[in-house]
Amino acid sequence: MAYDRDNIFAKILRGDLPCTKRHETEWAMAFDDIAPKTPVHVLVVPKGEYVDFNDFTARATAEEQAGFWRAVKETAEICGVGEEGFRLTTNNGEVAGQIVFHFHVHIFGGRPLGRMVRASDG
């Protein structure tokens, strides 16, 4: 899949759409999700044009990847969940529920999240 420069996260990164920014570095921007599922629900997106996790890990330089993951950690700390705990999620492809095809990580926290559902439970 080719990267779409008109996706919502590309527009946010360019400043064409507003967001509630939580953190920004050379490599990434973090902002509140518009439909939060937990008290803390922040998206962290790399500034480079990557469709999904597979694309990011295949094409981003080691420096970009390290800078991105460092920004994820810093964002969790800034949002107050770095010590108490948080969940990271990324959806890779349509079958996994990816809606915006710009690689991103969700940080969930601010309340007990419970265990993930076992395959035999669902």
Q: Work out the end-to-end distance of the chain between its first and last CA atoms, rounded to an integer number of angstroms.
A: 30
Q: How many CA atoms lie within 13 A of 106 on its CB side?
A: 20
Catalytic option among 23, 41, 102, 104:
104
**Is 102 a catalytic site residue?**
no
Using an 8 Å Cβ cutoff, are 28 and 40 in contact? no
Selection from 87, 98, 92, 76 nearest residue 30 by Cα = 76
The set of catalytic residues is: 104
